[in-house]
A and B are shown apart, each in its own frame.
Chain A
């Protein structure tokens, strides 16, 4: 199985700050990488697919990039509703696996 490692596991940040969450795969995944957001009530929302494509309705302050084994999610200017958990997920090979998550917390 491909292991997905997210860093950091938690990140205190301030409103308006630019943040980047990293996701590293245990082997190359050819950009087959998605990002999701989970709110405290458990609601899961897709953000980005195929490394850098923004899901319809997701604000443009979210962006994704990367290649090979290293990928990242960037939020350019944090809004109150962005404080949540974030997960990366690879679909290069089955079983599809998720990173351990990054908790974005208000500083």
Chain B
């Protein structure tokens, strides 16, 4: 399977715990995006990487959220001191290099439930 993969697919945690999600983009896609989606809403942009550089970060992303893409391949999204309001689907998408109008390919998502 050469699509975008995300792990874990589901995560249940207690309030106050830290969680980390991983995204493996399509091979050779140099652009990677993280989104958060809650029930009945569209995906909300969180952050964007071009290779290993984090070029955009939403104001929605509080200090408890951090994302990395250390070698320009896979990416991790960490949420510290989780809150119940963090419960959502976290989606990763990648797009290939060189397209002036980007087409994003989404992974299956990680569903987070904070108790």
B is bound to A: no
